[in-house]
Every structure is written in structure tokens, then in C-alpha cells.
Structure 1
Amino acid sequence: MLLVPFEAADAPQLCDWIPNARDNYLWGGPAFEFPITVEQVAAHLAKPEVRPFLFRQQGEAVGYIELYRVSATEYRLCRVLIAAENSRGQGWGKAMVSLALDVAFEEPKITTVSLAVFERNQIAVACYTALGFDLLQEETKTREFQEETWTLLRMQKRR
């Protein structure tokens, strides 16, 4: 298991991993229109604060994760995805997030890694909680998706 830098050539595969508008919003919030395109991915990755990674298991790309620089002392985990349904439930999400935390905390000035996750994504919430992320109750918000209100939780892990 390892994280490798995401390359522009990986964008078509990432786009293929997002099968519908609901999964697109669950994964990326309002950042991408569905269907996600290579051009949208390229525009997003051109932002200097975005550090994207592929997660590889036995040489095969099975996940995607970003570190988004919020400040000199904070990264935010964004757009966390284990790609195939049959790849889920094997602990790979926890392994991928752990590796991303290692990368973030390699930088001496980083004291906090935060994230936002939809409450309905209970598997992800449980994963982050197991890895020591704390819920920031005062920062809970909501987002609208297709006339549904989704609760957005904010969590953080400090060094």
C-alpha cells in the first residue's frame, strides 16, 4: 500500500470512478459538476494549494485523496475515495487516510489536519473517528443536494 502523486494522465480513471451525480456530490461536494470531466479535474489540480494522490494496492490504483493547504499550519483532507465497491470494507480507506496524515505531518509546521464529511457517509465518519479525528460540533453545516438537506460535519486531528 502506498500513496503516489496523482498525474494528469490519471484523470480519466478518476472520472470513471464517479458513476452518478449523488456519488459525485458525496465525494466532492459542489466542487465538480457531474459528469466529472478531465478538464474539471485539470482545472482543480492547477490550484497551488491542492496536493493530489492515488492510493495503490498491489500496484493497482484503488483510491484517491487530496491534501488541501488551508494555512501554514493546516491541511484539509479532501475528496477521499476508495474506487470500486468491491474494494471497500477491506480497511483501505483507513490505510489511505493514515498515509495522507503521515505526508501532512512530515511538515514540521503542520499542527492540524481537518476535513468535512457528510454525516450520511457513516463508514467514512467511523474511519476518521477511529484515526483520532475529533468532531467540531460548532462547525456543523448543511448542504442541499437534489432537494435533500445533507448535514456536513467538520472534524480535525491535531499533532
Structure 2
Amino acid sequence: METEQQCDLNAQLIEFGPQHYPLLIDWIDSDELNYLWGGPQFEYPLTVEQLDTHYGTQAPSPFLFVVNDEIVGFIELFKVSDCEQRLCRVFIHPTCRGKGYATTMLELAIAKAKMAEGPQSLSLAVFAHNQSAISCYEKLGFKPYETVSGLRFFKGKNWDLIRMSQRL
């Protein structure tokens, strides 16, 4: 079910494919942003080969977020198990932030997760210093259930990871 904001924005998720790799590679333009977006899964600079390897598996379902015919974001649904999906690699282009797009993109992804047969929960992990993302996730009903320290490091500094989830 579309929200009023989604209708006003003409917002949708479309499948992300190899033809979109250059766009994502262009967006992820620093070592820190690469780690914030992809964690240790990807090395900077992001490459076609890394994306091919990651999206060559069956588990991730990547999407571009399109608003009024402009690609403004990226999100991934990842099948963890038969009863759990995870939101990963949430990204709104910097020029499009502050417009409520992340909320709309997440609502669309949550709706997709609810349509899948089997999953009963939706989880995510977010770095503790990313307060705007945490606030957005909480507004959409995600609850923190664990803070992990000492698992992720960027340039020698520990980045605490907050794990959150919600029932579908």
C-alpha cells in the first residue's frame, strides 16, 4: 500500500543490475563512505568485479530508489534465513538528503519484505555514530537489540555496530 508521500513523489524501487554499476561506483566516492555503505564486504574504490561477485549470489536483492524519474538512492534486501530478511547498504545520494526520501525508500523496501513468503522479521545493522539513520529506522518501528563493539574498525578506530529489527 502506497503512502500519500510515495504517491506525491512518484517513488518506486526498481531492480538494480549490471547496467547500473557505474552509477553506484560513482556515488561511493571515498574510502569512508565505502565502509559506511558496504562495511568490510567491499574495498575502495568500488569496482565492477566486486559488484559482480556480490550480486552473483542468490541472497541479495538490490534496488535503486527512483523519485519522479530520477535515481536518488540504493537499498538491498538480503535473505538471511527462511524467517529473516535484512536491509543492507542503504544509501541516499548526498544532493537528495533531507527531503524524507530515506523514509519513503525504507517503507517501500519493508513492503517488499512483507510480500515475501516466510520471513517473519526484518533486521539491519547500523554504525552507532550514524544518528540520522538510527532515528529514521526507529521512526519506522525498528528496535535496537544489540550493540557490538570491537567488530568493525575504520582507520584504526572502532565503529560500534547497532543491530535492530522489527516483526513483519
Give structure 1 regions of 4+ aligned residues with deviation exceeding 3 angstroms: none
1:9 is aligned to 2:19: yes
Counterpart of 1:44 in structure 2 is 54
Cα deviation digits, residues 47-93 of structure 1 (max 9, x gap):
1101000000111111010000000111000000002x220011101
Q: SS at 2:160's partner residue? A: strand
Q: Counterparts in 2 of 1:60-71, with a 5 A limit? A: 60-71=70-81
Deviation at 1:115, TM superposition (A): 0.3
Counterpart of 1:92 in structure 2 is 101
2: CA distance between counterparts of 1:79 and 1:16? 15
2: CA distance between counterparts of 1:62 and 1:70? 26
1:152 is aligned to 2:154: no
2: CA distance between counterparts of 1:89 and 1:72? 35
For 2:157, the aligned partner's letter is E
Unaligned runs of 5+ in 1: none
Q: TM-score, normalised by structure 1?
A: 0.96
Aligned residues: 157
Alignment equivalent of 1:140, drawn from 130, 141, 148: 148
Cα deviation digits, residues 112-136 of structure 1 (max 9, x gap):
0000000111111111000000001
Q: Counterparts in 2 of 1:22-41, with a 5 A limit? A: 22-41=32-51
For 2:101, the aligned partner's letter is W
- Identity value in percent: 43
Q: SS at 1:102's partner residue? A: helix
Alignment equivalent of 1:119, drawn from 89, 111, 128: 128
2: CA distance between counterparts of 1:33 and 1:109? 33
When the two chains are superposed, the root-mean-square deviation of aligned CA atoms in Å is 1.0
Deviation at 1:140, TM superposition (A): 2.6
For 1:109, the aligned partner's letter is G
Cα deviation digits, residues 18-65 of structure 1 (max 9, x gap):
110000001110010000011111111011101000000111111010
Unaligned runs of 5+ in 2: 1-10
